[in-house]
Structure 1
Amino acid sequence: MATIKKYTKDNQEFYMFQAYLGINPQTGKEKRTTRRGFKTRKEARLALSMLELQADSGQLDQQPINLTFEDVYQQWWAGYINTVRESTMYKQKKVFQNHILPAFGKYRIRTITTSQVQTTLNKWFKQTDYSFKPWFNYTSAIFKYAILQGYIKDNPCTRVTMPKKLDKEDTLNFWDKDQLKTFFNGIDPVNDLEKYTLFRVLAFTGIRRGECLSLTWDDLNVQKATLDINKTLTHGDKGRLLIQPTKTKKGTRVISLDESTLLYLKKWHLEQRRMYLMLGYNINKSNQLIFATSKNTFKSLNTPSKWLRALIDDANKSGANLPSITVHGFRHSHASALFSAGASIKEVQERLGHEDAQTTLNIYTHVTEKQGQEAVQKLVNFLNF
């Protein structure tokens, strides 16, 4: 029979017990456990009684009742990391560390209620305009895993009410032709040749930020005026920068360049050689990065965003009245321009590297105000009465 003993730690009295829990059916060996840290003998006796009751009823063999949410997450994570890219793993690990585990990690997973999940979801909703749904989905994934493992029988996430912002105007994350022209007119193509070239490539090819920052000079075919998009720069574990394959199979593609964009790339190539020679770097190699730091390393993925914000601010100080967009907005702007120029859904899909046409339709449903006006004018011209 288990006995409760008193012991001293840091000049404080606590109680502990050792308990026999039967025979392990897999190993045939005795199962014993030691529990410490009880402040009173009564508290230790109550815990011992519950443990012995669970052992007698077989509950301990059916489910580990003391597993916390974080314990289950660690089990799930050990298998999950073998199914995703390092960049995806890095992003999701940060979500768990910064948001999900602080909310649920310390609680026993069987005790977490729908009310707790709803309260946390409401809090996340107020914190951000766009990221709370993935946080919620990852949380639900842990409960689903716990059900599959037999730790719990119910997922509290299935009964929450998803918060929804009402009367919120969509922010159009793209520029029309005139706005793009205004933006580029505000960049000095001589003194800021690298910035001008980088944003020109983004606007006139529609490639992603990571695809742009991973470009090397051997990706450029001057004779054919094409760019070979075959990789992307992204964050890996602990925030390190690394090169990965493109986001999808369709993402690996060859893009035709217009004459002006090709011209600026050639100008930047000459300027880069001159500049790096002065810095003591030999860049006469085919795998030289097109856009690199002054130490000839990968640029931070945040660099284009910092440049963009500063350029928009400077333009607006001069009375340009440019709405803010993200670096990804140049991809949206490119798609909008293609549609305005009469490109088909299939052509836009192929150029942007979307896996299917539905993705193109889902993302680029907005048209510019000018396109709407043109549609009305076409209708008037056709009806003509």
Structure 2
Amino acid sequence: MASYSKYEDKKGNEFYKVQFYLGRDPQTGKSKATTLRGFRTKKQASNAMIAAKNDFINGKQKKPKNRTFKDVYVDWYESYKLTVQESTIARTKGIFNNHILKAFGDKRINTITVADVQKAINHWYKITDRNYKKWFNYTSLVFKYAVKTRIITENPCSLVTIPKMKRTYGKKLENFWSIDQLNQFMNCIDPDKELEKYTLFRVLAYSGMRRGELLALTWQDISFKDSSVDINKTVAQGLRGKLIIQPTKTKAGRRTITMDDTTMLYLKRWRLSQKQMYMMYGFNTMNKSQLVFANSKNKLKSLNTPLKWLNAIIKQNGLSKITVHGFRHTHASILASNGVPVKQVQDRLGHDDVKTTLQVYTHVSESDRRKTVQIFNDAMKN
């Protein structure tokens, strides 16, 4: 049964509208009615009604015409955040808010062209050396979602020309130290005056663990009996910049590593000193979940604190510059240079596959380069 009626718009023009029953919604089982308007004649209204009924019977739903890229991103994001850890969610949200949504957010997604995406990635390429590829890949994920949900038919990212990564001239600064450089650094810290700082950097250097893994350590992770450290969690930056503890970066990242006796002695010294110091602050450090390295409020230490300490020591003593992650590189480099099999290095560092260990952490030191030349020269003399 249909009901036709006339109405006037704001300018006084007459139009027809039709109200009619579509049928039962197959998903909800509820009766569904609708109203169509804006027709010059009753015949036009009738034809539109018949077409709408056919679409409903055949399960064709009217696609939203005005969905913006941001609208689709919001839907995609709700599913995406269920697949990753909170720290990744926070980074992803920042990338979209700071870059991708600025380029596409208010545009209707079905009007965004290959040229629009090409213009965006060209701009990103100009302002960042490496991140432009990551931003592009995230952009493509939203378009892929739009294709899967039949909002658009093609992903414009698939036809974009991705700029080549910029190359720089000159010698690349290595982010690791030699044994002599590491010893020089450690000698710059007096453990009698700065025991926590000395212990923190010694654990980093002698374990090869990540910064977040170090700052997440609790005393129950330390086995003085076995001289080992159980790495099972990491500190990361979550939503709204809040520090959080979450599982290790990868499955292989959960590991137990053996430590040297001297490092374990410094950990024992620091544990005793921490108990005495924090008792003065009114904190009970006897519980098993007590952080090994905490801030003055006995909470998670800032991820930036080790870097501030490191940079200050480097500046004061004129040392070669590396990052906190450079201690991990240094650890792997020393192991590799002294003949430790790469599979063992992989296990100690907590990599999922040996390829990552080979590509990122196995460095060749200056002494190794000299050895290579000497081996060749000795071979030529024989």
TM-score normalised per structure 1:
0.83
**Residues 349 and 243 of structure 1: CA distance in aligned 2, closer, same or farther (over 3 Å):** same
Match of 1:11 in 2: none
**Residues 25 and 333 of structure 1: CA distance in aligned 2, closer, same or farther (over 3 Å):** farther
* CA deviation profile, 1:48-107 (whole Å, cap 9, x unmatched): x9xx99x9697x945322110011011111112222222221221121122111221111
Q: Which amino acid aligns with 1:186?
A: C
Match of 1:203 in 2: 205
**Residues 71 and 167 of structure 1: CA distance in aligned 2, closer, same or farther (over 3 Å):** closer
Partners of 2:160 and 2:168 lie apart in 1 by 22
Match of 1:380 in 2: 377
Partners of 1:250 and 1:330 lie apart in 2 by 20
Partners of 1:20 and 1:306 lie apart in 2 by 71
* CA deviation profile, 1:291-336 (whole Å, cap 9, x unmatched): 00011000111211222222222222xxx3x13x221121111111
Q: CA deviation at 1:382?
A: 4.2
Alignment size in residue pairs: 357
Match of 1:4 in 2: 9
Match of 1:155 in 2: 155
Partners of 2:174 and 2:261 lie apart in 1 by 29
Secondary structure at the aligned position of 2:230 is classed as strand
What are structure 1's unaligned runs of at least 5 residues? 7-16, 36-44
On the 8 A contact 1:124/1:132 being kept in 2, the answer is yes
Partners of 1:377 and 1:294 lie apart in 2 by 53
Rg larger for:
2
Residue 26 of structure 2 is aligned to residue 29 of structure 1 = no
Secondary structure at the aligned position of 1:132 is classed as helix
On the 8 A contact 1:305/1:326 being kept in 2, the answer is yes
* CA deviation profile, 1:12-58 (whole Å, cap 9, x unmatched): xxxxx9977985884663445899xxxxxxxxx9xxx9xx99x9697
Match of 1:311 in 2: 313
**Residues 2 and 139 of structure 1: CA distance in aligned 2, closer, same or farther (over 3 Å):** farther
Match of 2:3 in 1: none
* CA deviation profile, 1:144-180 (whole Å, cap 9, x unmatched): 0000011111111112222224432544222222222
Partners of 2:34 and 2:329 lie apart in 1 by 61
On the 8 A contact 1:24/1:31 being kept in 2, the answer is no
Choose 330-339 or 21-30, whichever is displaced more.
21-30
On the 8 A contact 2:130/2:165 being kept in 1, the answer is no
TM-score normalised per structure 2:
0.84
Partners of 1:180 and 1:120 lie apart in 2 by 44
Aligned alpha-carbon RMSD (Å): 3.1
Alignment of 1:250-269 (within 5 A): 250-269=252-271
On the 8 A contact 2:190/2:198 being kept in 1, the answer is yes
* CA deviation profile, 1:202-232 (whole Å, cap 9, x unmatched): 1110111111001011111112111111111
Partners of 1:20 and 1:237 lie apart in 2 by 49
Say which of 235, 244, 247 aligns to 1:245: 247
Partners of 1:251 and 1:151 lie apart in 2 by 40
Partners of 1:267 and 1:202 lie apart in 2 by 17
**Residues 193 and 144 of structure 1: CA distance in aligned 2, closer, same or farther (over 3 Å):** same
* CA deviation profile, 1:329-349 (whole Å, cap 9, x unmatched): 211111111101111111001
On the 8 A contact 1:18/1:32 being kept in 2, the answer is no
**Residues 190 and 105 of structure 1: CA distance in aligned 2, closer, same or farther (over 3 Å):** same
Residue 366 of structure 2 is aligned to residue 369 of structure 1 = yes
Choose 242-251 or 60-69, whichever is displaced more.
60-69
Q: Report % sequence identity.
A: 49
Residue 361 of structure 2 is aligned to residue 359 of structure 1 = no
Say which of 330, 335, 338 aligns to 2:335: 338
Match of 1:119 in 2: 119
On the 8 A contact 2:199/2:266 being kept in 1, the answer is yes
